[in-house]
Amino acid sequence: MARRSKEGCCSVLQMNEDNARFGLLATLILIYLLCGAAIFSAIEHPSELQAQKLWKMRLRNFTQTFNVSPTELMAFLRQYEEANVAGIRVDALRPRWDFPGAFYFVGTVVSTIGFGMTTPATISGRIFLIFYGLIGCAATILFFNLFLERIITMLAYILRWVHERQLRRTGVRMSSEHRRGSAGDVDSLEGWKPSVYYVMLILGVAALLIACCASAMYSSMEDWSYFDSFYFCFVAFSTIGFGDLVSSQKEHYQNQNAYRFGNYLFIIMGVCCIYSLFNVISIVIKQILNWILAKIDCRCCRRWQKKHLRHHRNAVRPAPNKTRQKNASIDTVCDSETDGRRMSGEMISVKDFLASNKVSLAIMQKQLSETANGARQTYIHHNGFSGGIGALAIMNNRLAETSVDR
Amino acid sequence: MARRSKEGCCSVLQMNEDNARFGLLATLILIYLLCGAAIFSAIEHPSELQAQKLWKMRLRNFTQTFNVSPTELMAFLRQYEEANVAGIRVDALRPRWDFPGAFYFVGTVVSTIGFGMTTPATISGRIFLIFYGLIGCAATILFFNLFLERIITMLAYILRWVHERQLRRTGVRMSSEHRRGSAGDVDSLEGWKPSVYYVMLILGVAALLIACCASAMYSSMEDWSYFDSFYFCFVAFSTIGFGDLVSSQKEHYQNQNAYRFGNYLFIIMGVCCIYSLFNVISIVIKQILNWILAKIDCRCCRRWQKKHLRHHRNAVRPAPNKTRQKNASIDTVCDSETDGRRMSGEMISVKDFLASNKVSLAIMQKQLSETANGARQTYIHHNGFSGGIGALAIMNNRLAETSVDR
């Protein structure tokens, strides 16, 4: 009975590790959304009420001054809303559907920014958009992924070069003190990988630089404040694209062509950079999820061990191979210092995690994945899910092709 | 001299294969954008002109009827635009910044849909948005990736099950005819992987189903036409989010809470499904890029061979190991039927590619990647770029952890 319950506890824990991570992430995102909603509501609600008050006053003023009946004014404003959708504003904007305007529009479609300053109004335009977006967005996702891989390669190259120089410097110092030092250093370079935190830092700084330069351009060209320009940059580069502020919409600018080109260039660079940054941050988030799951795992196991260990030791029972395998893999997560290969438990400890900006993420993840794999093998054979591995291997092949081999 | 030029030709071709693919994709996307811009411009420009004409007429009518000076009306409309940004419309909308409204808003932020029906107006709101979006979008990218991996696992499981059943049926038929059949079939199941085209088809059908169901809901609740609802679904699910149509914006609905819940549910399901679909389509696009590159490679090599082969055969020259390796790897791409391992050239041929909906992508990609790796090894040792592999391995570890092991 106890064996069964342990088996149940452990196999449920491990079988559903992927689902647990997915569920944990979904729960955390939900909490994040709820907190965000509460904070935004607190920040923005007063200003909304004020805007409503102001608008009511202005509406009343206008109807009284010009002796227009409210219903007629409302009808007129509805017509204006309709015109708005077609891209008409009081202060003449650039034409929406001339070639440059349409080019800007399709750019916001394939990048999924979707400002909404221009939207197809005809049915044929909307039908075409669906097919056009389907291929275009997929191609752009591939473009972003290839860019991500290019930038990571480049950053790794630079970081390795810096690391090599540092080693050589210490090596020179070391060898002047005692001769063996430099040989050891060269060896340590072989398996060297840059820390994800450095990559995140560099990408963050790059994104910040691009956003700052772009903001300087926008604030001088669009009459926005520098901060508003920066806010626009974030909204555009992250492909959120609210459309409350949209660049390059006036009818005329000084150096119009240069500005349009600069606008496209900054948006492409910014979107690529922020996409890479988001992906690197998501690695860190995954680490945190793994760490939380490992903690929960350990706590559950310890509680179980306290309850059942004595019973187990005294019980004379057949121990099938399968169960042993499972217990072993759980142990890998729980007991951190019993044998040499048991690094994962150590590594997941809080102290190490907090100090891990010096620990290469690659090593961390390899260990985590080894742990998970150990636990997984039995599961796969258990429920015949090995077919899943095949299709995952397709994604793997793709991802490997996208990000590893080249 | 000739050797050097061949070396140069081949190494340039191979060294820059990644860059070539990236450049090719960028060029194709640019062409795609230009074509799209031309087509959209042709479709939408007449309707824009018509809308402008209509608005001018209405404006003139209004000023004449109510004896309002155009400048005063313009000032009033500017005020209305200002109110618009704060989420005010003639027909009362739901409150923007009460808790449910803010929740909808943060949902559009982290998913990068960004309809723009609600945007922060205060500076503190905008500052908070930047930090909130940075973490939120990264977490959601991770969520989408985990979902992608879950759905691919599930689809592979189902497809394998179907394949197994088919094999068993043919096996039964076969074994009634001659006994050996079924054993061979079981063997062939081991390395079986579902075709990417089936996965794409299934995801496409799923996305279509979700969009159709959601459209039915929206068209009944929002008074949109069924097609407009479908267009909204595509724009929302692909995270473009123009904001020309936004669901759940009226002040009151029948069964308001149920509708809001259904709205969230459909958007989450749709976004996840379309994200997966985009990623699977991007695999196919990458295949096409590889195929184009291989074709260009072959043509270039053949031209070179015609020019220089005779010279080479007659020349007595030292053939260093490095050069041989390179030639061998190029041959793997160019000559398709010289030895057993030379499958990649065959596979990339047009005929096979067009018939490849029956060829498992996994095999295709493995072969392509083998070809590329063969070519790559020398390059890595050549310019000391092996450091790049380290960082790519970081992404690999992440991707492998995301999509392979579990």
Average pLDDT, chain A: 74
Cα angle: B371, vertex B373, B379; to 5 degrees:
120
What are the pLDDT digits (tens) for A131-185?
A: 999 999 999 999 998 888 888 888 888 888 998 898 899 887 766 655 544 444 4
Is there a contact between B76 and A97 if contact means CB atoms under 8 Å apart?
A: no
Task: Decide if pLDDT at A392 tops 90.
Answer: no
B-chain residue closest to A277, CA distance: B138
Confirm or reject contact between B1 and chain A (CB < 8 A): no
B-chain residue closest to A383, CA distance: B157
Q: Which of the listed ranges A42-51, A64-73, B5-14 does the model predict with the highest average pLDDT?
A: A42-51
What's the confidence (pLDDT) of residue A153?
81
Residues of A in contact with B286 (CB under 8 A): 142, 398, 401-402
User: Quick one: three-class SS letters along A266-284?
Assistant: HHHHHHHHHHHHHHHHHHH
Share of chain B above pLDDT 90, in %: 42
Share of chain A above pLDDT 70, in %: 67
Per the model's pLDDT, the better-predicted residue between B153 and B95 turns out to be B95
**Rounded CA gap, A71 and A74, in Å?**
5
Per the model's pLDDT, the better-predicted residue between B290 and B177 turns out to be B290
Per the model's pLDDT, the better-predicted residue between B12 and A391 turns out to be B12
Per the model's pLDDT, the better-predicted residue between B26 and B190 turns out to be B26
Task: Decide if pLDDT at B296 tops 80.
Answer: yes
Q: Are A401 and A359 in contact (CB under 8 A)?
A: no
Confirm or reject contact between B114 and chain A (CB < 8 A): yes
Handedness of CA B358, B363, B367, B368 (dihedral sign): positive
What's the confidence (pLDDT) of residue A344?
32
Confirm or reject contact between B87 and chain A (CB < 8 A): yes
**Rounded CA gap, B215 and B247, in Å?**
11
What's the confidence (pLDDT) of residue B188?
55
Is there a contact between B194 and A376 if contact means CB atoms under 8 Å apart?
A: no
Nearest to B270 by CA among B239, B242, B312: B239
Residues of A in contact with B243 (CB under 8 A): 114, 116, 242-243
Task: Decide if pLDDT at B43 tops 60.
Answer: yes
Interface of A with B in 140-169 (CB under 8 A): 140-143, 145-150, 152-157, 159-161
What's the confidence (pLDDT) of residue B183?
44
What are the pLDDT digits (tens) for A246-297?
A: 999 998 999 999 999 999 999 999 999 999 999 989 988 988 999 999 998 8
**Rounded CA gap, B30 and B33, in Å?**
5
What's the confidence (pLDDT) of residue B299?
83
* Residue B373 CB-half CA count within 13 A: 13
Least confident of B1-10, B190-199, B301-310, B352-361: B352-361
What's the confidence (pLDDT) of residue A365?
36
Is there a contact between A405 and B369 if contact means CB atoms under 8 Å apart?
A: yes
What's the confidence (pLDDT) of residue A85?
85
**Rounded CA gap, A151 and A202, in Å?**
11
Q: Are A276 and B141 in contact (CB under 8 A)?
A: no
ipTM summary value: 0.75
Inter-CA distances, A340 with A224, A343, A371, B218, Å = 60, 7, 13, 59
A-chain residue closest to B140, CA distance: A29
Please tell me whether residue A250 adopts helix, strand or coil conformation.
Answer: strand
What's the confidence (pLDDT) of residue A190?
58
What's the confidence (pLDDT) of residue B309?
57
Task: Decide if pLDDT at A79 tops 60.
Answer: yes
Task: Decide if pLDDT at B191 tops 50.
Answer: yes
Q: Which of the listed ranges A356-360, A377-381, B142-146 does the model predict with the highest average pLDDT?
A: B142-146
Check residue B225 and report its DSSP letter. Answer: -
| Two tokens, residue B181 | 């059949």
Nearest to B214 by CA among B254, B269, B159: B269
Task: Label residue B310 by pLDDT band (50, 70, 90).
Answer: low
Is there a contact between A45 and B103 if contact means CB atoms under 8 Å apart?
A: no
At a CB cut-off of 8 Å and minimum separation 6, what does A369 contact? B397, B400, B401, B405
What's the confidence (pLDDT) of residue B316?
38
Task: Decide if pLDDT at A309 tops 90.
Answer: no
Task: Decide if pLDDT at A314 tops 60.
Answer: no
Q: Taking the mean position of all CA atoms in its chain, how far away is CA A285? A: 9
What's the confidence (pLDDT) of residue B186?
47
Q: How far is B338 from chain A (nearest CA, A)?
A: 25
Across residues B61-90, what is the average pLDDT? 88
Q: How far is B97 from chain A (nearest CA, A)?
A: 5
What's the confidence (pLDDT) of residue A308?
66
At a CB cut-off of 8 Å and minimum separation 6, what does A141 contact? B278, B279, B282
End-to-end Cα distance, chain B? 52
What's the confidence (pLDDT) of residue A137?
95
pTM value surpassing 0.80: no
Interface of A with B in 328-387 (CB under 8 A): 361-362, 365-366, 368-369, 372-373, 376, 385, 387
What's the confidence (pLDDT) of residue A175?
63
Share of chain B above pLDDT 70, in %: 67
What are the pLDDT digits (tens) for A187-209?
A: 455 567 778 888 899 999 999 99
What are the pLDDT digits (tens) for A214-234?
A: 999 999 999 999 999 999 999
Across residues B341-352, what is the average pLDDT? 32
Across residues A51-55, what is the average pLDDT? 93
Q: Which of the listed ranges A340-344, A357-361, B19-23, B30-34 does the model predict with the highest average pLDDT?
A: B30-34
Is there a contact between B121 and A44 if contact means CB atoms under 8 Å apart?
A: yes
